[in-house]
Amino acid sequence: MVTSKFRRRVAVLVSGRGSNMAALIAAARNADYPAEIALVLSNRSDAAGLNTAASAGIATRVVDQSGFGKDREAFERAVDNELQAHRIELVCLAGFMRVLAPGFVQRWEGRLINIHPSLLPAFKGLDTHARALDAGVKIHGASVHFVTAELDSGAIIAQAAVPVLAADTEETLAARVLSAEHRIYPLALRLVAENRAQLVEGRCITDGAVAADAVLTVPSEIG
Ligand code: GRF
């Protein structure tokens, strides 16, 4: 792996499987990618993503939320300490199942991004695929957004759309969306790391050079 002083130091926060984390690690293996995954941190010691990261030679840390009881701020201070200790510049949430307190979110404003399995602002929160099927939408997808204090409401950086097929179950739809997630998260992190996507007064301003079709994956392009 080639490292350069221009690569931004990124932490990925996970609570489970970590397939999006793995997609970011894979992207960062390319020498021209503007970020390196310097830390994978989990609030759960049993998160499978930790093993994947460790096997890839990436530093891992657990900040076990159960050790902090209801003291959310103490938990987040401990997370912050790890981020500082690893000189982290950007944070990617990837299936991190904790709502972060406003203080943490403010400290990392513009440098904290999340992936959500729906075309926001539709289907914020949990069970997005079941709700998309219930609603009968024909297009579903995923969004990468800057994190703000309000859940799943920050400015959108990139989105990918996938078709909802007549025979879809929650599982088949989730799998189709997930493969789209793995494509747009590395793209969105690249844009943020290169300062081509920035949070300005609550909106995501993208560099004029980013073509619309670079941030929207149309259904026909999803395998
Ligand atoms: C993804 O669907 C992501 O959009 C959501 O949680 C899931 C995490 O999956 N926030 P993985 O751990 O990245 O495989």
With 0-12 / 13-18 / 19 or more C-beta atoms within 10 angstroms meaning exposed / middle / buried, residue 210 is: middle
- What are the DSSP calls for 89-119, one per residue? -EEEESS--SPPPHHHHHHTTTSEEEEESSS
Delimit the domains of the chain by residue range.
Answer: 8-217
| Separation of CA 94 and ligand 1 centre (Å) | 6
- Neighbouring-strand partners of residue 143: 116, 159
Phi, psi (degrees; rounded to nearest 5) at 213: -75, -5
DSSP at 138: S
Residue 181 CA: nearest ligand 1 atom is 4
Q: What is the CA radius of gyration of the chain?
A: 17
Spell 148-187 as b/e; 16+ CB within 10 A means b. beeebbbbbbbbbbbbbeeebeeeebbebbbebbbbbbbb
| Separation of CA 143 and ligand 1 centre (Å) | 11
pLDDT tens string 190-203:
999 999 999 999 99
pLDDT tens string 6-36:
899 999 999 999 999 999 999 999 999 999 9
| Separation of CA 114 and ligand 1 centre (Å) | 10
- Of 86, 116, 140, 145, which one is the catalytic site residue? 116
Residue 116 CA: nearest ligand 1 atom is 4
Residue 86 falls in the annotated catalytic set: no
> Closest Cα to atom 10, ligand 1: which residue?
95
pLDDT tens string 150-162:
999 999 999 999 9
Q: If you search the block for the tokens 């998260």, which residue do you land on?
A: 185
Query: CATH number of the domain at 8-217, out of 3.40.50.300, 3.40.50.170, 3.50.50.60, 3.20.20.70?
Result: 3.40.50.170
**Residues 84, 81: Cα–Cα separation, whole Å:** 5
| Separation of CA 18 and ligand 1 centre (Å) | 7
pLDDT tens string 133-180:
999 999 999 999 999 999 999 999 999 999 999 999 999 999 999 999
Residue 15 CA: nearest ligand 1 atom is 12
pLDDT band at 69 (very low <50, low <70, confident <90, very high): confident
- The helix/strand/coil state of 135 is helix
Instruction: Cite the DSSP H helix spans in the chain.
Output: 19-28, 48-55, 72-85, 102-107, 128-135, 170-193, 212-215
Q: Quick check: 82 pLDDT over 70?
A: yes
Residues touching ligand 1 (Cβ under 6 Å) are 14, 16-21, 94-95, 115-117, 178, 181
User: Pairing relation of β-strands 139-146 and 112-116?
Assistant: antiparallel
Sign of CA dihedral 172, 152, 83, 2: positive
Q: Are 52 and 21 in contact (CB under 8 A)?
A: yes
